[in-house]
Amino acid sequence: MVNLGLPASIPNRKLQFHDNIDFAAQPSFNNFTPLKSSSLKKIIGMEIMKERFKVKGEALATEIKELLKEHGNKKIGEVHLSQIYQGMRGITGLVAETSLLDAQEGIRFRGYSIPELQQKLPKAEGGNEPLPEGLFYLMLVGELPTDEQAQHVTSVWQRRSHVPNYVFDTIEALPVNAHPMTQFVVAVMALQTQSQFAKRYAAGMSKKDYWDAVFDDSMDLIARLPRVAAYIYRRKYKNGEHIQPNGLLDWAGNFAHMMGYEDESFKELMRLYMTIHADHEGGNVSAHATHLVGSALSDPYLSFAAGMNGLAGPLHGLANQEVIKWIFELREELETELPTKDQISEYVKKTLSQGKVVPGYGHAVLRKTDPRFTAQMEFGKKHMPDDPLVQTVWNIYETVPPILQSLGKIKNPWPNVDAHSGALLVHYGMVEYEFYTVLFGVSRALGVLAGLCWDRILGLPLERPKSVSTRLVKKWLNGEDEIWGD
Ligand code: NMX
Ligand code: MLT
């Protein structure tokens, strides 16, 4: 363990962040270990990951060119008029290499299901859950990493995790009651001044180097996000008493530590949480927004901020806070910790009669229980089977689907990832549900930024679909205009 000579918890923010300390020149203060030969080996390991990605990416780019030369005119489907009015459901219009969603089976990351990832990805010492570092390697390179390769990612993210003081100052300029997602996005925008991509583009970077700068920005941003997110958490909910990073911990374990959670099983939860929320193919709002904005060659900071603004919507990532708020309100109204299934059923019907959605249920693509829900349920059964809130989530699972099904219009009555996550967090004392979407966002960075690296190495162009007006649609229906040309 590196001895910082500092207490683990530092109540005075000024002491930690405002001493005009040049962090780069003070490696031990920021828990950056001096470069020993083992560290050098790790850096070389990282270069190998980048090199590996380059080889894979360039090979696929060549393959795609050939594939399009031969098959580019093949039709892959039809578009119905209703689809352009209904959120483009079912229209395949994007390429995402990192993961693929099957409506029945759920997500697979580079072909691996969540239980397979739990089995095959490297773990922290003594742990059972996968390291998100390993998942990032898998999404980026397309191969399962060895333990050493996952450790390389950990060590490089540690080294790149320094957050400049002005970013904390920018957060501090916001009212403390600003929603954590607002604080998070503002912090990401403040970090944007660090973008290598923006600097190199301004200096006249060649197209063939875009991926290289996006890779570097993505690594820096992912490395810094836990620090930023933990800062927001401690600022808003723990009187600004911030906690130093622990340079010996893995990315998710250190995130748990900086938020103030030392329980080993909470760290395990964070590893699982950061793994299962990382990616959900390319069309979900946060991934699509990141990809879309990135297609204008906006740098990874700008692109990721766009994605996070989408994640902050209640039909997307904010649903995780809505779920727990909804359950807390249910418990308060009924004055019970463990509502019966009949009581839950009445409450669901009331919610629907008020014209509201039941948060955590339904999905735009999935048509079965989300395997991310199941993975969390398994975690709950292992670590907290008797927790009344967790049991309530399970009782809701038995109650809600038949009610939603009976309405006849909901395509998927089953729970999604957000139906479960909050109850696990509350078990460990993280009751501040407005923060939950930030956790989702830190995890989602892994998928969308690996995706952005792929976008640039494949040389994908500016995304710009055609739109039509209803006036034109009506003309077309009357045979007065041709609107579906190129
Ligand atoms: N509760 C009540 N009504 C629902 C629900 C639900 N959980 N899910 C869908 N519906 C309604 C939907 O609002 C629509 O109503 P209307 O025709 O009156 O506009 C109708 O059922 C048909 O919707 P679908 O085609 O089944 O769903 P769609 O693909 O449009 O929407 C969601 C998908 C996820 C937006 C929707 O299921 C929903 O609002 N769920 C609750 C919010 C939620 O849990 N979001 C998190 C998704 C996962 N994530 O992390 O992003
Ligand atoms: C996600 O993880 O992004 C959500 O399940 C939403 C989606 O896939 O559309």
What is the pLDDT, as a whole number, of residue 46? 58
pTM: predicted TM-score of the whole model, two decimal places: 0.92
Tell which one of 410, 411, 420 to mutate to probe ligand 1, the residue whose CB is within 8 A of the most ligand atoms.
410
Instruction: Write out the two tokens for 434.
Output: 């407005």
Enzyme catalytic residues = 316, 363, 418
Ligand 1 center from residue 357 Cα (angstroms)? 7
Residue 48 confidence (pLDDT): 83
User: Residue 151: CB partners within 8 Å, gap ≥ 6?
Assistant: 42, 122, 133
57-79 mean pLDDT: 97
Output the average pLDDT for the chain. 92
Contact by Cβ (8 Å): 360, 415: yes
Per-residue pLDDT at 396: 98
**Candidate from 37-51, 80-94, 267-281, 318-332 with smallest mean pLDDT:** 37-51
Residues in the chain: 486
pLDDT digits (tens, 9 = 90+) for 308-362: 999 999 999 999 999 999 999 999 999 999 999 999 999 999 999 999 999 999 9
Q: For the chain, what is the largest distance between any 2 Cα atoms, rounded to a whole number of angstroms? A: 79
Q: Virtual CA dihedral for 41, 44, 48, 49, nearest 10 degrees?
A: 80
Return the pLDDT at 483. Answer: 74
Best mutation site among 276, 280, 416 for ligand 2 pocket (most ligand atoms within 8 Å of CB): 280
What is the reported pLDDT for 18?
28
The answer for residues whose C-beta is within 8 angstroms of residue 437's C-beta and 6 or more apart is 180, 181, 311, 312, 317, 318, 320, 321
The helix or strand, by DSSP H or E, that contains position 471, with its residue range, turns out to be: helix 470-477
Determine whether the shortest distance from the Cβ of 50 to ligand 2 is under 6 A. Answer: no
Return d(Cα 7, Cα 11) in angstroms, integer: 10
- Write out the DSSP string of 43-64: HHHHHHHHHHHHHHHHHHHHHH
Say yes or no to pLDDT of 21 above 80: no
Confidence check: pLDDT of 19 > 50: no
Q: What's the gap in Å between 436 CA and the centre of ligand 1?
A: 20
From 217, 288, 220, select the one nearest 453 (Cα to Cα): 217
pLDDT, tens digit (0-9, with 9 covering 90-100), for 250-300:
999 999 999 999 999 999 999 999 999 999 999 999 999 999 999 999 999
For 472, how many CA atoms within 13 A lie in the half-sphere containing its CB?
Answer: 9
Q: Tell me what pLDDT residue 47 has.
A: 73
Q: Check residues 3 and 52 and name the one with the higher pLDDT.
A: 52
Say if residue 51 is exposed, middle or buried (CB neighbours under 10 Å; 0-12, 13-18, 19+): exposed
Element (H, E) at 384: none
Closest CA to 278 of 108, 95, 463: 108
Q: Ligand 2 in contact with 196 (CB < 6 A)?
A: no
Place of tokens 């906006």: 298
Looking at residue 24, what DSSP letter applies?
G
Q: Please calculate the CA angle 378-117-155 and round it to the nearest 5 degrees.
A: 115
- Buried b / exposed e over 64-97, threshold 16 CB at 10 Å, is eeeeeeeeeeeeeeeeeeeeeeeebeebeebebb
